[in-house]
Structure 1
Amino acid sequence: MVFAVYFLSELNSQVRVHLDRVMIIQGASGYASNGRLEQALRSIIWMQQEGFKPDVVTVATVLLVCAQLRALKQGKEIHCYVVKNGFLPNASITTSLMMMYSKCGVLEYSFKLFDAMEKRNVISWTAMIDSYIESGYLHEALGVFRSMQLPKHRLDSVATARMLSVCAELGVLKLGKEIHGQALKKDFELVPFVSAGIVKMYGICGANDKAKLVFDAIPVKGSMTWTAIIEAFGLYQDAINLFKPNHFTFKVVLSICEKAEFVDEACQIFNLMTRRYKIKASEEHYASIIGLLTRVGRAEEAQRYIQLSSSLA
């Protein structure tokens, strides 16, 4: 009986410790995902002070926080910790370290970690590509992508989108077409950020007909897709004039202008909608233009649109 009570007491103690660990990790992750990065870092420090040994998930979380805060000193301390405690070679930890160093501007450390990896997965390859892109080394990112294909690693949708953006920046249309072909084989064109990347790549590379063809084939066109076609053609009016715009088209484009605070463009588009295309402005159209003008301090113009919107009542 005494042994049973002791056993249950020890079990409850272990469960409490486990729950405490889980709560701290979840708390740190919650802080990080909500942008409260300093609180996330403090919760990890408190965890160590309380005698909890961080696991792989915890270490990956705090490295993410260090990357976002550009906290190189703390990131290096965690690097020492993972080396001393035998976390390496763990692909997840190594990739997190790569991303932390590249965010902190120490690209050579990212490359050394990547180069030392014996087994690279698609996430680590993509992390190295991202590191080069964020540091402005687009040709090097292209080189990593080509090397990635040698061991026949499967491209995922994230890596595909990254490389499409590189092809657009460098104007490498031929490789962009190859990546488009690979995306089609894997049905990645159904992923919104990939299809948007394809449209933008073709437009920026000067293949406007191809960009329009891909755009037309997208069954559901959200704001991401419209942003891509607008960025591809450079001018809002030029992009709109290529298609048969309707009420929804102008709603999306005005919403994009509102988020980006493109005030003059929004006014031009509103006039284009009502005057050239004879589309009656809705409450949503007026809400976008009025909200934007008010936010940037152009109160008199906002008041004019408020008066115009009163005719909807």
Structure 2
Amino acid sequence: MLLPAIFNVPQIPSHSVPYLLQPSPLPQNKKISKLPKTSTNHRTTSCFVSERNPISSQQLEDYPFCGKNPGCNFSSKSVLIEQLEDPSLVGSWIQSCCNVKEVRRIHSIVIKGYEKYVVYVDNNLISMYIRFGKLKEARNVFDKTSERNVVSWTAVFNGYSKVGLDDDEVLRLFNEFVVQGGRGNCQTFVCILNLCGRRFDFELGRQIHACIVKGNWSNVIVDSAVVYFYAQFGDLSGGFRVFDRMQERDVVCWTTMITACAQHAHGEKAISLFSRMLSEGFRPNEFTVCSVLKACGEEKELLFGRQLHGVIVKKMIKNDVFIGTSLLGMYVKCEEVHDARRIFNGMRRRNMVTWTSMISGYAQSGLGEDAIKLFRVMKRRHICVNNLTVVSILQACGSVGASKTGKEVHAQILKNSIENNIFIGSTLVWFYCKFGEYGYAAKVLQLMPDRDVVAWTAIISGCVHLGHGVEALQFLKQMLLEGVEPNQFTYTSVLKACAKIDDVLQGKWIHSSVNKTKTLPDVFVGSALIDMYSKCGHVSEAIQVFSSMPEKNFVSWKSMVIGYARNGQCNEALQLMYRMKAEGFEVDNYIKTTVISACGDIDWDLEFDQCIHK
């Protein structure tokens, strides 16, 4: 599913951290110390010269734009030459450039005529080249700099991180920085922490956090970056430890923690944090609101979601497409699809996610016809679809029997070459099984390059539904040969197949496989085992499974009672019905009819009779 950027935890902008030059010792990192040192033998661009010579008159004639730069009123050649002696003025001159062409021309003059070519000027050149996306030229300046400080190193780290093309090179540079005795500042730590998050390098990130604590570099921006780092790895306890110790918090830090909770299935905690944030006087931004709405949807907190909706209408931007989409999604997850449609109709701007959320909401609510109608409107307006849109419309077609529309969608899938998507492929398998077209379903599965447990379970359950029990068992064996581990839904489906074809040997083999996995305690797998053994006439095995189940639901009791009755053990069936009633489960008409049909010729005990007819 393609989500808008505001659904993700906001990145901490490393360029917003001030340069703090107090030293902080960095420990040697075992992982990065193994990396090779970076070579500094880079060729320079044509605007660089190897020697620094006095500026010629012709060169000065080439710089008419100098006088336009704020803070650098170079009204004559002599003044220009004099002001080149002041590094701060040269730095201002460099920073005022409007494009990379100006930076290159100034760089050429500085190299030729500036005798006091200090690290301050180099750092400004590096920063400006990075600002205009010229990483290679920034690196050339860095490599030729005779003296580097923490600002030089951090500027290059940020440059590579901004481009995002070579994280390994950043690690090599950082290793060289540490080996040379470099001591980072706040911006260095923020940059490397963000890098650790991108590379999923939890160990290095924790070491950077230790450096921050040891060097007392904590401030609101650095601590927010640490919180975000732990949130990326789902380590909410680590994130909360940092968050709770922060002496100062801003809206970014609150939003980072709230979003982390919402994304890792801790919706109640996210809502609680949001209430705490408001009580401390912080005004939420659109990122905060979207995360809280997501939490409300996951936790089915409709009342809180409606209250937040009222606040949005009164105090926040009404036409924000991301907030509108999040509101729509919240109502969909709370099964208020008509409220979701009102939000949809009232939005002035909609994006692909908005349309997809509404179509998905209709499909999940059993309103397949409405989903198909909205999908056709979406196509007429030439709005791009994503994989979730396709999955949702296929589900809608399957639920309302729209075989023709579903096949048209399949044709578009083939036309756009997205049939290899694992979610689309699995849904297509389910779709064709739904319409009894087993051959098409098997062909779709065969053509999928990657098949996960969902795809295999779809074909197995489809085979069982269509009465192809033997084929279902064959698919299970093929699935195991490919190294895909079945889940509880797979086992439940294949046990139904064993019951239908009366194959207790295969059922026992599956039972032994279940014993080796974590799915045995699952109440649905247990109920399927009871049903399989009962239908195959092995009541003792069914009783053993029933007795060993740590949790029983209505289906478990029902399967065991009917299993007794169908195998002629009427007294046991009646006794279990009594226990079932005592445990608080209702004895429905199907159970009563089945037991009476199987045991009609016995003498009913008054107690059991009252249990059934009460």
With the shorter chain as reference, the TM-score category is 0.7 to 0.9
| Contact preservation (8 Å) 2:297, 2:330 | yes
Q: Match for residue 203 of structure 1?
A: 433
Matches of 1:129 and 1:271 in 2, distance apart?
45
Partner of residue 215, structure 1: 445
Residue 70 (structure 1) aligned with residue 311 (structure 2): no
Single out whichever of 39-48 and 219-228 deviates more from structure 2.
219-228
Match of 2:362 among 113, 124, 132: 132
The answer to whether the 8 Å contact 2:366/2:396 transfers is: no
The answer to whether the aligner puts 1:61 opposite 2:282 as a matched pair is no
Alignment of 1:39-188 (within 5 A): 39-188=269-418
| AA aligned opposite 1:240 | A
Percent of aligned positions that are identical: 27
Q: 2-side partners of 1:181 and 1:263: how far apart?
A: 31
Q: Deviations over 1:127-163 (max 9, x none)?
A: 1112222332121111111111110111110010011
Aligned twin of 1:308: none
Paired residues in the alignment total 283
Counterpart residue number, 1:272: 506
Q: Match of 1:190, SS?
A: coil
User: Contact between 1:258 and 1:266, CA under 8 Å: does it hold in 2?
Assistant: no
**1:271 corresponds to which letter in structure 2?**
L
Aligned twin of 1:310: none
**Distance in 2 between residues matched to 1:66 and 1:227, nearest whole Å:** 31
1:199-247: CA deviation from partner (whole Å, max 9, x where unpaired): 1111211222211211111123221111111233325724436769447
Using the TM superposition, give the Cα deviation of residue 52 of structure 1 relative to its aligned residue in structure 2, in angstroms. 1.5
Distance 1:147 1:259, change over 3 A: same
**Which residue number in structure 1 is paired with residue 487 of structure 2?**
256
Instruction: Assess, with a 3 A threshold, how the Cα gap between structure 1 residues 125 and 299 changes in structure 2: closer, same or farther.
Output: same
User: Given the superposition, is the C-alpha separation of residues 285 and 273 from structure 1 closer, same or farther in structure 2, using an over 3 Å criterion?
Assistant: closer
Choose 25-34 or 58-67, whichever is displaced more. 25-34
* Among 510, 514, 529, the residue aligned to 1:288: 514
Q: In structure 2, how many angstroms separate the alpha carbons of the residues matched to 1:183 and 1:170?
A: 20
Partner of 1:3: none
Asked if structure 2 preserves the Cα contact closer than 8 Å seen for 1:258 and 1:289, the reply is no
With over 3 angstroms needed to count, the CA separation of the structure-2 counterparts of 1:288 and 1:112, relative to structure 1, is same
Query: Aligned letter for 1:65?
Result: A
Deviating more after overlay: 229-238 vs 209-218:
229-238
Aligned to 2:459: 229
Runs of at least 5 residues in structure 1 that lack an aligned partner in the other structure: 1-7, 275-280, 303-313
TM-score, length of structure 1 as denominator length: 0.77
1:37 aligns to 2:37 (yes or no): no
Q: How big is the shift at 1:98?
A: 1.2
3-state SS of paired residue (2:413): helix
Q: Judging changes above 3 Å, is the alpha-carbon distance between structure 1 residues 259 and 238 closer, same or farther for their aligned structure 2 residues?
A: closer
Structure 2 alignment gaps of length 5 or more: 1-19, 21-217, 225-248, 527-541, 547-614
| 3-state SS in 1 of match to 2:486 | helix
Higher-helix-fraction structure: 1
Look up the SS of the partner of 1:189 in the other structure: coil
Q: Residues 85 and 226 from structure 1, CA distance in 2 versus in 1: closer, same or farther, beyond 3 angstroms?
A: same
TM-score by length of 2: 0.41
Displacement, 1:109?
2.1
The answer to which of 41-50 and 64-73 deviates more is: 64-73
Structure 1 residues 263, 294: CA separation in 2 closer, same or farther (over 3 Å shift)? Answer: farther
DSSP 3-state at the match of 1:206:
coil
Residue 262 and residue 75 in structure 1: after superposition, are their counterparts in 2 closer, same or farther (change >3 A)?
same
Question: For residues 152-199 of structure 1, what are the alpha-carbon distances to aligned partners after superposition, in whole Å with 9 as ceiling and x for unaligned?
Answer: 111110010011111111221211111112222333222111101111
Aligned in 2, Cα 1:301/1:116: closer, same or farther, shift over 3 Å?
closer
Distance 1:158-1:288 versus aligned 2 partners, 3 A rule: same
Provide Cα deviations, 1:244-287, integer angstroms capped at 9, x if missing partner. Answer: 944725975x723477656944876883399xxxxxx7xx9844
Residues in 1 aligned to 2:384 and 2:365: alpha-carbon distance in whole angstroms = 25
Distance change >3 Å, CA 288–CA 145, structure 1 → 2: same
**Distance (Å, rounded) in 2 between the aligned partners of 1:83 and 1:14:** 31
Alpha carbon RMSD of aligned pairs, Å?
A: 3.4
Report the CA distance between 1:82 and its aligned residue. Answer: 1.7
66-75 or 240-249: bigger deviation:
240-249
- C-alpha distance in structure 2 between counterparts of 1:287 and 1:154, whole Å: 44
Greater displacement, 60-69 / 228-237: 228-237
SS at match of 1:188: coil
Q: What corresponds to 2:537 in structure 1?
A: none
Contact 2:488 2:522 in 1 (8 A): no
